[in-house]
Chains A and B, each alone.
Chain A
Amino acid sequence: MGTIDRRDFLKLVGAGGVGAAAGFVLAEAIKHPVEHLIPYPVPPEEFSPGVAAWYNTVCSMCPAGCGISVRTLEGRAKKIEGNPSHPVNQGRLCALGQAGLQVLYNPDRLTGPLMRTGARGAGPFVQTTWDDGIAELAGRLNELRADGRSDRVSFLTAGVRGHLAALLELLMAELPGARLLQYDFDHPHTLLAANERFFGAGSLPYYDLENARYVLSFGADYLGGWLSPVHHALGFGRSRQGRSGARGRFVQVEPRMSLSGAAADEWIPARPGTEGFLALGIARQLVAEGGYEGADRDAWAAALDGHTADAVAAQTGVPAATIRRLAGDFAGTRPSLALGGGATGGHTNGVDALVAVNALNYLAGNVGRPGGVLFNPPPAFGPRARAAHASYRDMLALAEDARRGRIEILVVSDTNPVFTLPAAAGFAEALAAIPYIVSLSSFMDETTGLADRVLPSHTYLESWGDDSPEPGVGFTVGAIAQPVVAPLYDTRSKGDILLGIARALGAGEDFPWANMEDYLKAGWREVYGRAPIPAEAGGFEAFWISVLRAGVWGENGRRESGSPAVEARVIDAVGVAPPEFAGSSDEFPFVLHPYLSHALRDGRGANLPWMQELPDPMTSVWYGSWVELNPATAERLGLREGDVVDVESAHGKIGVPVYVFPAIMPDVVAMPIGQGHAGYGRYASRRGANPIQLLAPLTEPVTGGLASSATRVRLVPTGRRVSLVKQGGESRQLGRGIVRTTGAAAVTGPGARLASIPIKVEST
């Protein structure tokens, strides 16, 4: 027999033992980890686990006010869809609207009231309490009020509508002389002023793209972000292929092709700031050829005299033949519709240019008719007085007042002027002169970073509110916004914060509502009063529930028609001054065309990972900033894609890589707005550059709005090169026939209008 000695025996025993242990541990390690089943102590009534509950509310990602339905499972918001019943978006929703979930669940949300320690903008914020925060603010407000100095108080918000605006108005009434400014970078000041001047109504009209057959847009990126992009896209789609035998034709006039320019049948580059001349030229031809038969025909002919196709061609750079053809098409294809806005309004002659566009619509008979410009009835609820939106000039005045010590308390909510105002405004420095700044923002953006106290508000998905959309849909409509989830953190809705301040001011009697929901209900009793339900059928409570269930309320679904007469003095005043630019063309050979980035808008979307990872529709670039150059210009300057250049104006410079963009005028460069944050969370910070910083403080004289398209810049190569991260590979089809076009005037065969699809809501 073979033998084994003791050492070997021990080795074997050891090996066996270790092996057994290893095997045991291996079996344990690959075992499925223990999972738990966590029941509710007391189940909420609203939902069953595994079955979704849908809540209707209003989207707040842009001012359009689309209605949304949010799918929630076990109290968590999972998916946002458009509300099929809401006439603005009819069940559809844009990319930014879908990203609202990332606002709610953003990791960089402020979770509770904060107080600054250390220097402003540098010192860390520490947690504090609501009682503390409200008491201190109210205490200071009371102090000023008792002294008769409540004119030293300023509230600075984004544009607000509905009952929240009414509540703000009430609060302002408690502080005599206090100022309320509503500031948004892209507020259409010049459009409103043009409508005021021409139609006598300084509001946003309803543009009926759906029924138009020829749409001529001067700078308005109606599909990209102008006014109500989802509604416009619906109208665009239906105008194109939703009617039997009549395909809508779209023409876009702008120096740099926007999303609407890409969708258009024709993109017409015109020199920046000269679009108004083009409108006048087309109007002149229309009148001259007998297309307008109003009584004041002669006055119009006289006013438009001189804007011949050749004259306009010289001013705009658009060939005279093209101008004549456009005029013929616009007059000959009815209903036609002219839109004006965006960069066209962003010049020193912006109001005049948009008045010219209004005139064009008027002369072509588009006003007050389907397929044209219709007027919205006044909102059914909201503040008594229409709040004035702060123009650039108003913000400069605010900054100046701050510097002179005339502002002692500033309350900021939902707006980020430190980011969205040019460096030339010196706004951040002016803030330093204000002794007490409170921010109600949900995020630590650049402006909130300079605050003394932060009282963070709920996101829109956690708040009660309501909205009467602007631009409307041509008839009275409103929607209630309700919370879709319980609040995540120790935040409060803006309405509740305002009510808390009012009560702490001692004005509890004038604010007899326990919370925002109460206030809304009280306000909506008036709306209900327009068409009450008998008490047996449930009265107001039944009405309230029905509005929440539908997500929308409206009356009189027909659009009013009719065109107001235009006064003689308005006709005489029709005319456009040449645009002014900041910077000489020798030193600064290019005109800078900043545009709202598709995903990030005015910078608000930069903290949302979905929006950072959404390729720019035109260039497909992700995550960064770039400057767009005409190919011939790039060649002339010896620049290729990725070469980093300093874009320099008289007011600053930023370094960004070049993108060679085929559809931009040779002496125009374009940059997207939205990146370049110095705060605002991990996804937004220190990424790209903010072209707003470069803008010159040039304003449109009537409104004081920033002429954001009127800054001249130069490009200084840095010698550095980066690789632009883009989704697109080869940008030409090279005969592959992937996107095919047909020359025939083809329309969808069945011709049936593709109606909005009713979404079946999950039920138990």
Chain B
Amino acid sequence: MEPGRSGRQSGNPGDDRTGVSIVPALRILRPPALVLGVGLAGVAFGYWANTTYFPGTTPEQPIEFSHRIHAGDNQIPCLYCHSQARRSAIAGVPSVNRCMGCHEKVATDRPLIREVARYFADKEPIPWVKVHDLPDFVHFPHKRHVLADIACQTCHGPVETMDRVTRLAPTKMGQCRACHEEHAVVNGQDCWTCHK
């Protein structure tokens, strides 16, 4: 900056300036330190904005399947479609065949149903987006929990009221530990039980 331009003079910065006033004490936070500070604040803000407004807990699905209609209004039991939850570590999603079991005849005029029928006719799987995703180093067995008579809603929330599935569970270890401790699960506090 050339001395003499925009009213700036060499020597004591901050003297004889034009423009918006700020609190005098903050004078010490001159750029570039101020820039850095505001920048970091900006990072924090951006991060917060992302996690609050775009948390990814309710991803858009390839077909707008509504659990409210199926599990809520029509009272289809969870295990009718997610049948593997009782037998295996994986709960899984129903095959397209399972959908067509009813929808071959039911509501076949609706555009979403026609889309499902198209997937089935093309023998193409519907690429559902995983809502409750645990890291690969967590081995969560659905079978043990279902057989322990834990209602699906305990972790997954009131799915039967959701049009689009939202992840309500924090899927952090604290939730698992708390429940294991409360119910004195055999080997429940051993890291290797889940992190084998």
Closest to A5 in B: B19
**B56 contact set on A, CB distance < 8 A:** 31, 34
Query: Are B21 and A38 neighbours in the complex by a CB distance under 8 Å?
Result: no
Q: Does A2 contact B (CB under 8 A)?
A: yes
Cα A35 to Cα B129 in complex, Å, equals 6
Cα A19 to Cα B46 in complex, Å, equals 7
Query: Are B50 and A39 neighbours in the complex by a CB distance under 8 Å?
Result: no
**A38 contact set on B, CB distance < 8 A:** 125, 127-128
Closest to B51 in A: A27
Give the contacts of A1-36 with B (CB-CB under 8 A).
1-9, 11-12, 15-28, 31-32, 34-36
Interface size on B, residues (CB 8 A): 59
Q: How far is the CB of B10 from chain A (nearest CB, A)?
A: 15
Cα A28 to Cα B50 in complex, Å, equals 7
Q: Does A41 contact B (CB under 8 A)?
A: yes
**A1 contact set on B, CB distance < 8 A:** 21-24
Cα A4 to Cα B27 in complex, Å, equals 9
Q: How far is the CB of B70 from chain A (nearest CB, A)?
A: 15
Give the contacts of B115-148 with A (CB-CB under 8 A).
119-120, 123-130, 133, 135
Query: Are B128 and A23 neighbours in the complex by a CB distance under 8 Å?
Result: no
Q: Does B72 contact A (CB under 8 A)?
A: no
Closest to A12 in B: B38
Cα A8 to Cα B130 in complex, Å, equals 46
Q: Does B102 contact A (CB under 8 A)?
A: no
Interface centre among B18, B43, B51, B89 (most CB of A within 10 A): B43
Given A41-B119, A41-B120 in contact, is the A19-B92 Cβ separation under 8 Å? Answer: no
Query: Are B92 and A15 neighbours in the complex by a CB distance under 8 Å?
Result: no
**A12 contact set on B, CB distance < 8 A:** 31, 34-35, 38
Interface size on A, residues (CB 8 A): 42
Closest to A26 in B: B47
Q: Of B93-101, B105-113, B173-181, which stretch is located at the interface?
A: B93-101
Q: How far is the CB of B25 from chain A (nearest CB, A)?
A: 8
Given A1-B22, A35-B133, A48-B84 in contact, is the A23-B43 Cβ separation under 8 Å? Answer: yes
Q: How far is the CB of B15 from chain A (nearest CB, A)?
A: 10
Query: Are A51 and B87 neighbours in the complex by a CB distance under 8 Å?
Result: yes
Cα A9 to Cα B56 in complex, Å, equals 35
**B20 contact set on A, CB distance < 8 A:** 3-4, 9
Q: Does A49 contact B (CB under 8 A)?
A: yes
Query: Are B47 and A23 neighbours in the complex by a CB distance under 8 Å?
Result: yes
Q: How far is the CB of B57 from chain A (nearest CB, A)?
A: 11
Q: Does A764 contact B (CB under 8 A)?
A: yes
Cα A31 to Cα B94 in complex, Å, equals 27
Query: Are A5 and B18 neighbours in the complex by a CB distance under 8 Å?
Result: yes
Closest to B1 in A: A7
Q: How far is the CB of B77 from chain A (nearest CB, A)?
A: 18
Query: Are A20 and B87 neighbours in the complex by a CB distance under 8 Å?
Result: no
Query: Are B88 and A2 neighbours in the complex by a CB distance under 8 Å?
Result: no
**A35 contact set on B, CB distance < 8 A:** 129-130, 133
Q: Does B151 contact A (CB under 8 A)?
A: no
Cα A37 to Cα B95 in complex, Å, equals 11
Q: How far is the CB of A263 from chain B (nearest CB, A)?
A: 35
Given A1-B21, A5-B19, A49-B90 in contact, is the A32-B6 Cβ separation under 8 Å? Answer: no
Query: Are A50 and B84 neighbours in the complex by a CB distance under 8 Å?
Result: yes
Given A39-B96, A48-B84, A51-B88 in contact, is the A16-B123 Cβ separation under 8 Å? Answer: no
Cα A42 to Cα B121 in complex, Å, equals 11
Given A7-B6, A24-B50, A50-B92 in contact, is the A34-B59 Cβ separation under 8 Å? Answer: yes
Q: How far is the CB of B49 from chain A (nearest CB, A)?
A: 6
Query: Are A42 and B123 neighbours in the complex by a CB distance under 8 Å?
Result: yes
Q: Does B26 contact A (CB under 8 A)?
A: yes
Q: Does A43 contact B (CB under 8 A)?
A: yes
Cα A20 to Cα B17 in complex, Å, equals 29
**B45 contact set on A, CB distance < 8 A:** 16, 19-20, 23
**A16 contact set on B, CB distance < 8 A:** 38-39, 41-42, 45
Query: Are A39 and B92 neighbours in the complex by a CB distance under 8 Å?
Result: yes
Give the contacts of B48-80 with A (CB-CB under 8 A).
48-51, 54, 56, 59
Q: Does B170 contact A (CB under 8 A)?
A: no
Closest to A28 in B: B50
**A48 contact set on B, CB distance < 8 A:** 84, 87-88
- Cβ contacts A to B, 27 pairs, < 8 Å: A1-B22, A2-B14, A3-B17, A3-B21, A3-B22, A7-B6, A8-B31, A16-B41, A16-B45, A19-B38, A19-B39, A19-B45, A19-B46, A20-B46, A28-B50, A28-B54, A31-B56, A32-B135, A35-B129, A35-B130, A37-B128, A39-B93, A40-B95, A40-B125, A41-B95, A43-B97, A48-B84
- Measured CB to CB, the residues of B under 8 A from A are 6-8, 14, 17-27, 31, 34-36, 38-51, 54, 56, 59, 84, 87-90, 92-97, 119-120, 123-130, 133, 135
Contacts beyond the supplied A19-B42, A23-B42: 18 A-B pairs with Cβ under 8 Å: A2-B14, A2-B21, A2-B25, A5-B6, A9-B19, A15-B39, A16-B38, A19-B40, A19-B43, A20-B46, A23-B49, A27-B47, A27-B51, A36-B129, A37-B128, A39-B125, A42-B95, A43-B97
- Measured CB to CB, the residues of A under 8 A from B are 1-9, 11-12, 15-28, 31-32, 34-43, 48-51, 764
